[in-house]
Structure 1
Amino acid sequence: MPTAAQGCNNPASAKKTAKTLMISTPTPEFEFCQGQKSDKKAIKRFYRQHSYSAGFMGLDSCYLVKDKQQIIACVIHSRLVVENQQSLLHALVVAPGYRRQAIASSLLDYSCAFHPLTVCFADKQLAPLYLSSRFTPASQHQLFPELAARYTQYIKKKPELTIFMRDSRNG
């Protein structure tokens, strides 16, 4: 996993530097960070504990929320090819005891700051979460060819998936 952030940071303000990103959040006691290679086993364990199958490829970045050094939420951004500006957001999971605390929204804001052009394929019932996190509905023709092909594969198994896109390249 790339190392844009060194360790976890307490997101108490809206400050961005080359190595860290801190955001305002209603939960200042939680730490937001980009996963490091040393976190890989803990991340995989977190996903297994929450019945989610997640694997890593070379162009993946994982973002975490920790409470007292324990992972309580994760999300993965995947770039299918180096040249592709669009990243595919997937595997957004918040531990059940921490849900309904705006952690998912805060994690989306945090992780998308590193990936200004983010796409996700989600069930329609998740639309309120993504729309409130500055994603907009998108169509397949707006996707880069690699993501369009991936979407075509996914809808064969889950035709109800909706495309959401967040473009923060211009502010």
Structure 2
Amino acid sequence: MSLELTTSTFTFRQLCNKESVDKKAIKAFYKNERYSAKFKGFDLAYGAFSVGVKSDINDDKNCALCQVDTTKQEEQNLLATVIISQLHQDNTQALLHGLVTAASARGKGIASRLLSFAIGDIKKRESSQSTVGIDSIVCFSDPKLADFYLSNQFTLVNADTQGILTPSIEARLLAYKKHQPNLSVFYISLR
């Protein structure tokens, strides 16, 4: 089940299930934006694309960041991505990371719309399954991005994350804080 939302300017869709082409495009996008992100396991990746607008992000028709929708014959440039990783199959909490908007597309609300689309898609997936799946999403972020996450329905978690984070997410937070001690934790329930 793959959901897609198209507006007059942007298309939002889930990118890779297991297709390596999408993973390569996402990795190339991150490299182009000078951002380091990796797939962590049981990942859902989402992208925002321009629709029918030739962007200055890339002019090369063969670029991995460009996709041509053969049914619509429109060039689509990747403008933003986000990865939501469950880390392991039975984890009820997912880690949101790699939310990046191309420098030339920032300030247009694309990241908020992509985040809303991705969370909505996961909620639909979860409601259509009879098994217990993802019930919350967490994000570790620079405190400067607090307003962004709070405006997108996330809650800022105080210093004591016990009982809020699953053990695998808590372990990841502790590892990240060794190199980035000021990280803030944001949480959103999907239930």
Same fold by TM-score greater than 0.5? yes
How many pairs are equivalent?
Answer: 149
Q: 1:30 and 2:30 equivalent? A: no
Q: Which amino acid aligns with 1:159?
A: P
Equivalent of 1:145 in 147, 158, 167: 167
Equivalent of 2:5 in 9, 15, 30: 9
Q: Which amino acid aligns with 2:174?
A: T
C-alpha distance in structure 2 between counterparts of 1:168 and 1:144, whole Å: 15
SS at match of 1:140: coil
Shift of 1:39: 1.7
Q: TM-score, normalised by structure 2?
A: 0.73
1:16 corresponding residue in structure 2: none
C-alpha distance in structure 2 between counterparts of 1:128 and 1:107, whole Å: 17
Q: 1:135 and 2:154 equivalent? A: yes
Check whether the contact 2:40–2:87 (CA below 8 A) recurs between aligned residues. no
SS at match of 2:138: strand
Q: 1:120 and 2:139 equivalent? A: yes
SS at match of 2:98: strand
Q: How well do the aligned residues superpose, as a CA RMSD in angstroms? A: 1.5
Shift of 1:96: 1.1
Which sections of structure 1, spanning at least 5 residues, go unmatched? 13-27
Q: TM-score, normalised by structure 1?
A: 0.81
Q: Calculate percent identity across the aligned residue pairs.
A: 40
Q: 1:108 and 2:115 equivalent? A: yes
Shift of 1:163: 0.6
1:42 corresponding residue in structure 2: 25
Check whether the contact 2:41–2:87 (CA below 8 A) recurs between aligned residues. no
Shift of 1:108: 1.1
